[in-house]
Amino acid sequence: MTQKNTITKKISLLSRVLLFDAAPLLIVSIFVPIWRIDLDAPQYPEGLRLLIYSYNIGGDVEIINGLNHYIGMQTLHTENFIEFAILPYIIGLFALYAIIVAITRSRKHMYLLLTAFILFGIIAMIDFWRWEYNYGHNLNPNAAIIVPGMAYQPPLIGFKQLLNFGAYSIPDLGGWLFILSGMLMLSAVFFESSFYKKFVKNKYIAPVAMFSVLLFSLNSCSTDKPEPIAINKDQCDFCKMTITDGRFGCELITAKGRIYKFDDLNCMLRYKEEKRNTQFKSFFVHDYSGDNLLIPAENADYIESEHLKSPMGGNIAAFSDKNEAETLAKEYGATLNTWGKINQNRH
Q: Which among 220, 235, 267 is the end of a domain?
A: 220
Tens of each residue's pLDDT in the chain, 347 residues? 455 555 567 889 999 999 999 999 999 999 999 999 998 887 776 789 999 999 999 999 999 888 888 888 888 999 989 999 999 999 999 999 999 999 999 999 999 999 999 999 999 999 999 999 998 888 888 888 888 888 889 899 988 888 888 888 999 999 999 999 999 999 999 988 877 666 655 555 555 555 555 555 555 444 568 889 999 999 998 998 999 999 999 999 987 778 899 999 999 999 988 887 788 889 999 999 887 899 999 999 999 999 999 998 889 999 999 999 999 999 999 989 999 888 876 55
Please give the Cα distance from 74 to 259 (Å, whole number): 29
In a domain, 44, yes or no: yes
Q: Which amino acid belongs to residue 49? A: R
pLDDT at 198: 65
Give me the residues paired with residue 294 across strands: 286
HEC readout, 76-142 = CCHHHCCHHHHHHHHHHHHHHHHHHHHHHCEHHHHHHHHHHHHHHHHHHHHHHHHHHHHHHHCCCCC
Same domain, 43 and 180: yes
Please give the Cα distance from 337 to 68 (Å, whole number): 49
Contacts with 323 (C-beta within 8 Å, 6 or more apart), sequence order: none
Same domain, 98 and 139: yes
Same domain, 258 and 216: no
CB 62, CB 137: distance < 8 Å: no
In a domain, 228, yes or no: no
In a domain, 240, yes or no: no
pLDDT at 159: 85
What are the C-alpha distances in Å from 53 to residues 31, 98, 125, 242, 265? Answer: 7, 22, 14, 42, 41
pLDDT at 6: 55
Same domain, 202 and 311: no
Please give the Cα distance from 83 to 129 (Å, whole number): 13
pLDDT at 8: 62
Q: What is the pTM of this model?
A: 0.63
Q: Is 20 helix (H, G, I), strand (E, B) or coil?
A: helix
DSSP string, 146-187: --TT---PPPSSEEEEETTEEEEEEE-HHHHHHHHHHHHHHH
Report residue 110: phi and psi, to 5°: -65, -45
CB 183, CB 213: distance < 8 Å: yes
Same domain, 123 and 167: yes
In a domain, 241, yes or no: no
pLDDT at 32: 96
CB 210, CB 18: distance < 8 Å: yes
Same domain, 257 and 215: no
Same domain, 188 and 270: no
Same domain, 175 and 271: no
pLDDT at 344: 74
Please give the Cα distance from 269 to 345 (Å, whole number): 10
Handedness of CA 92, 93, 97, 100 (dihedral sign): positive
In a domain, 243, yes or no: no
Q: Which among 199, 220, 241 is the end of a domain?
A: 220
- Domain extent, residue 99, equals 3-220
pLDDT at 27: 97
Same domain, 100 and 209: yes
Please give the Cα distance from 205 to 209 (Å, whole number): 6
Please give the Cα distance from 332 to 326 (Å, whole number): 10
In a domain, 216, yes or no: yes
Select from 292, 320, 317, 318 the least CA-distant residue to 307: 317
pLDDT at 7: 59
In a domain, 262, yes or no: yes
Q: How many CB atoms lie within 10 A of CB 209?
A: 15
Q: Which among 220, 239, 272 is the end of a domain?
A: 220
Please give the Cα distance from 69 to 63 (Å, whole number): 10
Same domain, 324 and 183: no
Same domain, 141 and 196: yes
CA trace torsion 106, 110, 112, 114 (10° rounding): 170
Give me the residues paired with residue 303 across strands: 317, 336
pLDDT at 72: 86
In a domain, 229, yes or no: no
Number of domains in the chain: 2
Same domain, 201 and 70: yes
DSSP 74: P
